[in-house]
């Protein structure tokens, strides 16, 4: 059932927006693009201080025991203001895997740090275009991981990873301490994501789930993250729609605001449609965790949010004309983020297949 936000949830949205709008500055984000391996520390400090890292984790381990709805509200705001670090989502994914599939010892070891934000998590599932490969390239043998985890978001700063690996005749979802794992920063068009190649060489690891259960568990984690990311994408798209609207109201050409030309106003009205469809799918998906249709709802949210953010980035820049492509105006921050978020947690190509398999009744 699609939900109406209650007062507490609305307060989370309002407060996170207030804090982020006060603290996030485009001028702090632009320099991060030109250096590899740094993230916006002020954002991460804010996230920890505000308790966002603890939001959806169990109380017994330092969490606030809220859920996807509240996480989504915060990441929507983070998307609006271009969150300067990817760890909110990556650490959440790792923490949920430990909470759902880990032992008491694993929970005690990792969850308090992930909840406080002192520890950072990374998710190592993808191989090339496949967000959850049939044959993972990383092997899991005798509780050791070997292989390269390529293009891992947040990987450069992560302390712990969950890895979808090829075990003895079956897939394994494993958890590994990354303290001794060598890693190489990937120079990216969106450098503050701290993307890295992780090199597992006999890295000690523990299995969280094996066999088809490992695949189901990994897909579930990916879907949880996809819903969080979809909120962030929707927030970014919403911000771009508003920026485009405001510019169209002030910029004049041929004696009138450009927003009076239908080629401009209809383009912005179409963005409104994409944003509202994405928002509606996000709200719905965030209320379906634990239900049989959760993966379907997550896929729909993910697809519409990716479409909304990419389109809003294209069109907002187009509406701005020449000024839109300058470094200084910073619209390219959104354009870059739209693409990095489109890849993280699996691209549209991946989620289209996940969705259609379910609609056609072919899901494993």
Partner 1 sequence: MSDLEAWRAKAAAWCESMVPTFGKAARKGLSVEADLALGRRYQKAKFDAGYAGINWPKDVGGQGLGHIEKVSFEAEEMKHGFPNVYFGISLGMPVPVLMQFGSDRDFVKERVVKALQGEEIWCQLFSEPSGGTDLAGLRTRAETDGNGWKINGQKVWTSWAQYSDYGVIVVRTDPTVAKHKGLTYFWVDMKAPGVTVRPIKLAGGDSHVNEVFFDDVKISDDHRMSPVGGGFAVAIATLMIERYVATDSAGFGPHLDLFVELAKEVRLNGRPAIEDGRIRQQIARNYAMRAGLDSINLRARRMMEAGMTPGPEGSLNKLVAVRSRQKLSELAIDLQGAGGFAFDEHASPKDDWASSWINAPTGRIAGGSDETLLNTIAEKILGLPQDHRPDKGVPFNEIPA
The residues of the shown chain that bind partner 1, judged by CB under 8 A, are: 1-4, 245, 248-249, 256-257, 259-260, 262, 265-266, 268-270, 272-273, 276-281, 283-284, 297, 299-301, 303-304, 307, 351-353, 355-356, 359-360, 362
By beta-carbon proximity to partner 1, the closer residue of 224 and 248 is 248
Three-state DSSP class for 196? strand
Three-state DSSP class for 318? helix
**Residue 360 Cβ vs partner 1, minimum distance, rounded to whole Å:** 5
Beta bridge partners of 160: 121, 177
By beta-carbon proximity to partner 1, the closer residue of 2 and 326 is 2
The radius of gyration of the chain's CA atoms, rounded to the nearest angstrom, is 20
Q: What is the rounded CA–CA span in Å between residue 277 and residue 280?
A: 5
CA distances 206 to 3, 210, 217, Å, are 38, 11, 15
Q: What is the rounded CA–CA span in Å between residue 58 and residue 54?
A: 8
Residue whose C-alpha is closest to residue 96's, from 109, 108, 107: 107
By beta-carbon proximity to partner 1, the closer residue of 133 and 213 is 133
By beta-carbon proximity to partner 1, the closer residue of 199 and 307 is 307
By beta-carbon proximity to partner 1, the closer residue of 2 and 212 is 2
**Residue 268 Cβ vs partner 1, minimum distance, rounded to whole Å:** 6
**Residue 282 Cβ vs partner 1, minimum distance, rounded to whole Å:** 9
For β-strands 196-210 and 171-177, DSSP reports them as antiparallel
DSSP letter for 156, please: T
**Residue 252 Cβ vs partner 1, minimum distance, rounded to whole Å:** 11
**Residue 287 Cβ vs partner 1, minimum distance, rounded to whole Å:** 9
**Is the distance from CB of 230 to CB of 278 less than 8 angstroms?**
yes
Beta bridge partners of 210: 172
By beta-carbon proximity to partner 1, the closer residue of 216 and 272 is 272
**Is the distance from CB of 296 to CB of 355 less than 8 angstroms?**
yes
**Residue 182 Cβ vs partner 1, minimum distance, rounded to whole Å:** 38
């Amino acid at each position: 059932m699609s939900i109406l936000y209650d007062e507490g949830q609305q307060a989370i949205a309002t407060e996170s927006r207030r804090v982020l709008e006060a603290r996030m500055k485009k001028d702090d984000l632009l320099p991060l693009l030109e250096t590899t391996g740094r993230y916006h520390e002020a954002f991460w400090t804010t996230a920890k201080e505000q308790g966002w890292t603890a939001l959806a984790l169990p109380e017994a381990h330092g969490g606030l025991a809220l859920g996807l709805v509240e996480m989504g509200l915060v990441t929507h705001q983070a998307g609006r203001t271009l969150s300067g670090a990817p760890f909110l989502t990556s650490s959440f994914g790792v923490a949920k895997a430990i909470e759902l599939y880990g032992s008491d010892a694993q929970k005690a070891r990792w969850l308090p740090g992930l909840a406080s934000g002192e520890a950072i998590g990374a998710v190592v599932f993808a191989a090339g275009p496949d967000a959850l490969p049939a044959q993972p390239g990383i092997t899991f043998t005798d509780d050791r991981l070997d292989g390269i985890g390529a293009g891992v978001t947040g990987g450069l700063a992560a302390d712990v990873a969950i890895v979808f690996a090829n075990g003895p005749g079956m897939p394994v979802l494993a958890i590994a301490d990354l303290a001794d794992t060598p890693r190489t920063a990937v120079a990216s068009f969106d450098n503050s994501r701290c993307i890295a190649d992780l090199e597992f060489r006999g890295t000690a690891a523990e299995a969280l789930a094996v066999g088809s259960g490992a695949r189901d568990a990994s897909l579930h984690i990916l879907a949880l993250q996809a819903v969080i990311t979809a909120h962030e994408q929707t927030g970014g798209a919403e911000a771009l729609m508003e920026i485009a609207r405001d510019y169209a109201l002030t910029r004049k050409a041929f004696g009138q605001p450009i927003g009076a030309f239908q080629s401009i106003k209809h383009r912005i009205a179409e963005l409104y449609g994409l944003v509202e469809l994405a928002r509606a799918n996000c709200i719905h998906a965030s209320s379906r965790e634990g239900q049989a249709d959760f993966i379907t709802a997550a896929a729909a949210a993910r697809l519409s949010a990716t479409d909304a953010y990419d389109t809003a980035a294209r069109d907002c820049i187009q509406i701005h004309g020449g000024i839109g492509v300058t470094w200084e105006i910073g619209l390219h921050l959104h354009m870059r983020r739209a693409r990095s978020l489109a890849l993280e947690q699996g691209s549209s190509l991946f989620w289209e297949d996940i969705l259609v398999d379910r609609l056609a009744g072919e899901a494993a």
